[in-house]
Chains A and B, each alone.
Chain A
Amino acid sequence: MRATVVLTEVRHGLRRNLGLTVAVVLTVLVAGVLGGLSFLLREQVSVMKDYWYDKVEVSIYLCGTESVAPSCLGPNGVAQAVTDAQRQQILLDLKSLPQVKAVYYETKAEAYQHFEQQFKNSPIAQNAPPDSLPESFRVKLKDPSQYLAVTGAFQGRSGVEQVQDERQLLDKLFSALSGIQFGGLVIALIMVVAALLLIANTIRVAAFTRRRETGIMRLVGASNLSIQLPFLLESVVAAVLGALLAWGLLTAFKAWLIDKVLAPNFQFTPFFGWDSVWKAGALVIVVSMVIAAGASMVTLRRYLRV
């Protein structure tokens, strides 16, 4: 069969079955957006891991006058700021630990500066008094997984309010993000199942409404391929249309929400780039084509027997 004849059939078929075609497009669109978003979330986590795992360290926060940790309380039960002697000793002990690669000291003023920078567009920064942030030692480890050695040595020591492994904090964030990603993926998969059933049903209806044509085609000796191809192409076209729309929404998501809103306000962390959006789009399109073609072939085998 000539290509123009097939394409005419496809166009007529899509128009004749408009309601179901739109349903397929929308279902694939929703599945594509959810699948694409969870892919982008994964990219985001990976970008953040690359960036932050390099930077994070173990922080040893020192006592201030407002500390509440037991190790900061004096004999009278009132919080006492860390003394110079304590600070000196902690630094010496840190440097003597074999796991430690480098130690930086961060004053209250520096801590406040960093804080201001990170939240410069947020009202939090305006409301925090400059000396409310604790001074700290920032410890870089030779092997970040060895943080227990540091925690064990300094947690609860007088003058130390808290020892915090930032990697642990990040891991909590990342596992929360992974949870969201997984949830998105599950919903996307449910939508994929819905799309599969919808495509199968669409083809069933199309095969029924066009049983005259297909009957004649069979009688005059049209090949299986030329009988089935228009149906297959119709569902692939509808699915790709949905996938393209999904890609459009993902692009809009990157262009507006990420680049215009989130990135300027959260400059301390990097965001995924456009290459991830292209990858997500390609993924959504390929997957939707495969799904549509697969569902079509299975259904056509049942309803268009020659």
Chain B
Amino acid sequence: MIRFDNVTKLYPSQTRPAVDDITLEIEKGEFVFLVGASGSGKSTLLRLMLREERPTAGSVHVLGKDLNRLSSWKVPALRRQMGTVFQDFRLLPNKSVFENVAFALEVIGKPRHTIATVVPEVLELVGLAGKEGRRPDELSGGEQQRVAIARAFANRPMLLIADEPTGNLDPSTSVGIMRLLDRINRTGTTVVMATHDAAIVDQMRKRVIELEGGNLVRDQSRGVYGYSR
């Protein structure tokens, strides 16, 4: 599903690499937490998976594609097989819940009748049935993140990448979001989630990959947030 081989990423203006010689493999259907302090390289790792960045050295394989060799016009096709969720939701404020999810399908050319059936389904799945007509600013933070997850999952991606999805949410709301991500994972979708939230990681007991200063310092199946706990 995802393979990093000796991947180093050095941003042009910096002397220390953001990600330093990382090798790891994530299998299909796994649920993986990516933990570490701010600036430890979590986001860079996710950006490398999304091919928002290219590695300075080493190779990244995602969904069977060598991202170094993938020509840029094929990147959209790759991203259609990946869903992305962020801490700040990234919803369009002037569109309703339904329209926000539909937008993601419209812009990749899905026909109207497909959108008409898929969007209610996925909104039902994330628990937003009945709120299709609301605007994002009429929803709670948890509900907004559910819309974002619905949008990411609408095209039934093989891989869901979540960058601190609970970062803006209170603990009880976060639990709901994690249940949702777990459900999505059970459908066979691989989930990679970067987080700071120790409670969640400890509770879920999934694979944990820890970064520190761009180095991989721990890769543990059924792990907890940190040794110190």
A-side interface residues toward B, CB under 8 Å? 1-2, 5, 212-213, 215-224, 226-227, 306
Contact partner of A221 (CB less than 8 A), chosen from B79, B103, B106, B112, is: B79
In the bound complex, what is the Cα–Cα distance between A226 and B80 (angstroms)? Answer: 14
Residue pair A222, B92 in contact (C-beta under 8 Å): no
Residue pair B108, A2 in contact (C-beta under 8 Å): no
Minimal Cβ-Cβ distance residue in A for B86: A219
Residue pair A216, B103 in contact (C-beta under 8 Å): yes
Residue pair B80, A221 in contact (C-beta under 8 Å): yes
Q: What are some 24 contacts across the A-B interface (CB < 8 A)?
A: A1-B107, A2-B111, A5-B107, A213-B92, A215-B90, A216-B90, A217-B107, A218-B76, A218-B79, A219-B50, A219-B79, A219-B90, A220-B79, A220-B80, A220-B151, A220-B155, A221-B75, A221-B78, A221-B80, A221-B82, A221-B108, A223-B76, A226-B107, A227-B107
Contact partner of B76 (CB less than 8 A), chosen from A212, A213, A224, is: A224
Shortest A207–chain B CB gap in Å is: 16
Residues in B neighbouring A2, C-beta threshold 8 A: 106, 109, 111-112
Minimal Cβ-Cβ distance residue in A for B82: A221
Shortest B133–chain A CB gap in Å is: 18
Residues in B neighbouring A223, C-beta threshold 8 A: 73, 76, 108
Shortest A184–chain B CB gap in Å is: 44
| B window 66-96: CB within 8 A of A | 72-73, 75-82, 84, 90, 92
Residues in B neighbouring A221, C-beta threshold 8 A: 75-82, 108, 155
Additional A-B contacts beyond A222-B108, A224-B73 (6; CB < 8 A): A5-B106, A216-B103, A220-B79, A220-B84, A221-B79, A223-B76
Does B104 belong to the interface (CB within 8 Å)? yes
Residue pair A212, B104 in contact (C-beta under 8 Å): no
Residue pair B75, A306 in contact (C-beta under 8 Å): yes
| B window 94-124: CB within 8 A of A | 103-104, 106-109, 111-112
Residues in B neighbouring A224, C-beta threshold 8 A: 73, 76
Minimal Cβ-Cβ distance residue in B for A4: B112
Contact partner of A220 (CB less than 8 A), chosen from B73, B107, B111, is: B107
Instruction: Please give me the 4 A-B residue pairs with the lowest Cβ-Cβ distance, nearest first.
Output: A221-B79, A221-B80, A222-B107, A220-B104
Residue pair B104, A1 in contact (C-beta under 8 Å): no
Residues in A neighbouring B103, C-beta threshold 8 A: 213, 216
Residues in A neighbouring B112, C-beta threshold 8 A: 2
In the bound complex, what is the Cα–Cα distance between A5 and B104 (angstroms)? Answer: 12
Residues in A neighbouring B82, C-beta threshold 8 A: 221
In the bound complex, what is the Cα–Cα distance between A81 and B109 (angstroms)? Answer: 91
In the bound complex, what is the Cα–Cα distance between A167 and B108 (angstroms)? Answer: 67
Residue pair A216, B73 in contact (C-beta under 8 Å): no
In the bound complex, what is the Cα–Cα distance between A224 and B79 (angstroms)? Answer: 12
Residues in A neighbouring B84, C-beta threshold 8 A: 219-220
Minimal Cβ-Cβ distance residue in B for A218: B79
Minimal Cβ-Cβ distance residue in A for B110: A2
In the bound complex, what is the Cα–Cα distance between A220 and B152 (angstroms)? Answer: 7
Shortest A216–chain B CB gap in Å is: 6
Shortest B114–chain A CB gap in Å is: 11
Shortest A304–chain B CB gap in Å is: 13
Residue pair B108, A220 in contact (C-beta under 8 Å): yes
In the bound complex, what is the Cα–Cα distance between A215 and B90 (angstroms)? Answer: 9
Residues in B neighbouring A220, C-beta threshold 8 A: 79-80, 84, 104, 107-108, 151-152, 155
Minimal Cβ-Cβ distance residue in A for B109: A1
Shortest B73–chain A CB gap in Å is: 7
Minimal Cβ-Cβ distance residue in A for B94: A12
In the bound complex, what is the Cα–Cα distance between A216 and B152 (angstroms)? Answer: 10
Residue pair B92, A216 in contact (C-beta under 8 Å): yes
Residues in A neighbouring B111, C-beta threshold 8 A: 2
In the bound complex, what is the Cα–Cα distance between A222 and B108 (angstroms)? Answer: 5
In the bound complex, what is the Cα–Cα distance between A1 and B115 (angstroms)? Answer: 13
Shortest A27–chain B CB gap in Å is: 29
Minimal Cβ-Cβ distance residue in B for A217: B107
In the bound complex, what is the Cα–Cα distance between A256 and B152 (angstroms)? Answer: 61
In the bound complex, what is the Cα–Cα distance between A5 and B81 (angstroms)? Answer: 22
